Chain A
Amino acid sequence: MVRFILQKFVFMIVSLFVLVTATFVLMNAVPGSPLQREKATTPQIQKNLEAYYGLDKPLIQQYGIYLKNLLKFDLGISMKKRFYSVNKIIADSFKYSLRLGVVSVITSVIAGCVLGIIAALHHRKFLDNLAMVLAVIGLAVPSMVMAPLLQYLFAVKFRLFNVAGLERPLDYVLPTIALSSASIAFIARLIRTTMTEVLHADFIRTAKAKGLPGHLIVWRHALRNSMLPVVTYLGYLVAGVITGSVVIEAIFAIPGMGKFFVQSVVDRDYPLIMGITVFYAVLLMVCRFLADIAYALVDPRMRNFTKKVA
């Protein structure tokens, strides 16, 4: 198991390096510079600014400096939000994104599983159809359409929630629904399919032949086996929720990382683009890594496999 983890870790470092390089090259290949203003500046000021941010050095040297700082976990300073280090911006804004993300992931898994199980247990009956219609709507309506609709209905019309912001616990309701509707739908369909299949498996018949009551058969024998694909999906789910939150944060005026990410690209704020990209990448890799471990925990056959690899 230790070697399995180490192996994964080395892969993570390598892919991170590739990612940093690619982002750096692409970012510099795009025309324009963070120091270009609408107002023309004198060449002298321009030169001083470039020297201050180290942009006067050749690209390869800039790249070297960036890598060196990255090893010290120093992501540099923002070129647009002056006096703010990228580390500080990420630290301040990420807590909002994280909270919303965690709430959304938990909501997706619980709501998705419940809907999926209901659908599977009432296969081809009314409740199944209802759950699946909801799921299709959830998948088909993009979150940027869903979000304003929710705001209009529940915040403006019925005044149940605030339109924007993320201060009170109740403020989480609308962004969470908007952010997790697609993943709820996805998980529900996933669970429904696997569960329907698992319920016809031979070992379910064995469980029945043991005289176990129906709820115990579903809970103890069917659910765990139906959860396997969901666990695999979890890594991607987290990725989806994070990238999806970029839009949702903008709509609900949440001061999260997504907002800064979009802004940094518009501004060509090199250190901030790099910083947030690296941060997202690390986050996603860690999520995928945890999903791998979670899979081994749920499926004993995987545990055996990882042992063999080690």
Chain B
Amino acid sequence: MGKTILEVRDLRVSFEVYGGEVEAVRGVSFHVCEGEAVAIVGESGSGKSVTAQAIMRLIAMPPGKFKSGSVIFEGRDLLTISEKEMQKVRGNKIGMIFQDPMTSLNPTMTIGMQIMESLIKHQRLRKSAAKARAIELLAMVGIPDPETRMKQYPHQMSGGMRQRVMIAIALACNPALLIADEPTTALDVTIQAQVMQFMKELQQNTNTSIILITHDLGVVVDLCDRVIVMYAGQIVETGTKWEIFKNPQHPYTKGLLKSLPRLDQPKNEPLIPIYGTPPDMIQPPQGCGFCSRCESAMRICERQDPEWTAISETQSVRCWLQSAGEKAAAVVGGKEADA
């Protein structure tokens, strides 16, 4: 892989709410290399969207706040630069696609104008040049008759087309990094496939790095090189996609894969859900966040956060099952036997 373009270190994001402080992201660290596609998967509330929006600094503050951490992009910490500097990064160096294309476009502005906006802002193009580039972009994302579409409004387009327009907006200034926050969740399955196919081609042609945020492991396989599994605001396992799919180590990752329907599965065999709900993030658990739902939970899991264990050069997991041994025994003081 090429050199690292984004490095997130020990990111912690909290939200002040009426009942207290919600610790949405609790010490997340990962990196993205040039031309690499990384998937962040996890269920609702696992902190994956907050992580993405924190990179772009799109989190409303208050109620949100950065407790600690840094987001190093092109040698600078995005969390400490001024808002003005940040505006030069957003839409220019980092593009973002959002979940719901039905509401993510301004209903009172033409498609053309919405694409041209960032071109005019970041590349200082004249209106005519921006228009030409916008038509080019629309054609690139596979929208037929782009000249006519330029003058249309979002309500005149289907969901899939709108999501392509969103992609065109995000790609307008050739960003080095594209963050796609559940880009296919709101779309039909057939349209999902088209959009994913398109993102894959894009990645192959332009060498853009992609962070794909999703709760759907199915869409990961085609596009991504590496997978990061998040649970309760933490990363619990990371590895290449084949490591994660073929040899998952964390019980949560295993659960996610088991709850996925497979073509080779016997007809009558039921899907296995992960029982229970994620923990309350106002009072995050002291130990492993997953232990209340984990079938193989041990006593130590309740008491202490597991540490990272390297499974291979690329795969590591945060689970006591892997690093149990003498370390766990030492922590609990030999009481593990009766667990």
Asked whether A210 and B169 contact (CB < 8 A) given A202-B98, A205-B98, A304-B156, the answer is yes
Q: Are A202 and B104 in contact (CB under 8 A)?
A: yes
A220 to B120, CA, bound (A): 14
Docked complex: A175-212 residues within 8 A CB-CB of B: 201-203, 205-212
Asked whether A304 and B155 contact (CB < 8 A) given A210-B121, A212-B121, the answer is yes
Residues on B with C-beta less than 8 A from A304 are 153, 155-156
Asked whether A203 and B166 contact (CB < 8 A) given A209-B91, A211-B118, the answer is no
The stretch among A42-50, A109-117, A295-303 that forms the contact with chain B is A295-303
Q: Are B108 and A225 in contact (CB under 8 A)?
A: yes
Q: Mark B198-237, 1 if CB is under 8 A from A, else 0.
A: 0000000000000000000000000000000000000000
Residue of A nearest to B57 (CB): A208
Q: Which of B107, B153, B155, B170 touches A203 (beta carbons < 8 Å)? A: B107
Q: Are B91 and A203 in contact (CB under 8 A)?
A: no
- Tell me if B's interface is mostly helix, strand, loop or mixed: mixed
Q: Are B155 and A301 in contact (CB under 8 A)?
A: yes
Q: Are B153 and A207 in contact (CB under 8 A)?
A: no
Give chain A nearest CB distance to B4 CB in angstroms: 23
Residues on A with C-beta less than 8 A from B155 are 300-301, 304
Q: Are B87 and A212 in contact (CB under 8 A)?
A: yes
Q: Are B156 and A213 in contact (CB under 8 A)?
A: no
Asked whether A206 and B121 contact (CB < 8 A) given A211-B88, A221-B106, the answer is no
Asked whether B109 is an interface residue with its Cβ less than 8 Å from the other chain, the reply is yes
Q: Are A300 and B153 in contact (CB under 8 A)?
A: yes
A224 to B58, CA, bound (A): 22
Asked whether A201 and B91 contact (CB < 8 A) given A209-B58, A209-B96, the answer is no
Residue of A nearest to B172 (CB): A210
Residues on B with C-beta less than 8 A from A207 are 106, 117
Residue of B nearest to A207 (CB): B106
Number of residues from B at the complex interface, CB < 8 A: 31
Q: Mark B79-106, 1 if CB is under 8 A from A, else 0.
A: 0000010111111100110101001111
Residues on B with C-beta less than 8 A from A210 are 90-91, 117-118, 121, 169
Asked whether B256 is an interface residue with its Cβ less than 8 Å from the other chain, the reply is no
Asked whether B28 is an interface residue with its Cβ less than 8 Å from the other chain, the reply is no
A224 to B169, CA, bound (A): 21
Q: Are B87 and A205 in contact (CB under 8 A)?
A: no
Q: Mark A211-232, 1 if CB is under 8 A from B, else 0.
A: 1110000001100110000000
Asked whether B56 is an interface residue with its Cβ less than 8 Å from the other chain, the reply is yes
Q: Are A225 and B107 in contact (CB under 8 A)?
A: yes
Q: Which of A206, A208, A298 touches B108 (beta carbons < 8 Å)? A: A298
Q: Are B98 and A212 in contact (CB under 8 A)?
A: no
Give chain A nearest CB distance to B125 CB in angstroms: 14
Q: Are A206 and B90 in contact (CB under 8 A)?
A: no
Given contacts A206-B105, A299-B107, 11 further A-B contacts (CB under 8 A): A202-B98, A203-B105, A206-B98, A207-B106, A208-B58, A210-B90, A210-B117, A210-B118, A225-B106, A300-B108, A304-B153
**Interface positions of B (Cβ within 8 A of A):** 56, 58, 84, 86-92, 95-96, 98, 100, 103-109, 117-118, 121-122, 153, 155-156, 166, 169-170
Considering the complex of A and B, which 5 residue pairs feature the smallest CB-CB distances, nearest first?
Answer: A211-B90, A211-B91, A210-B91, A202-B103, A210-B118
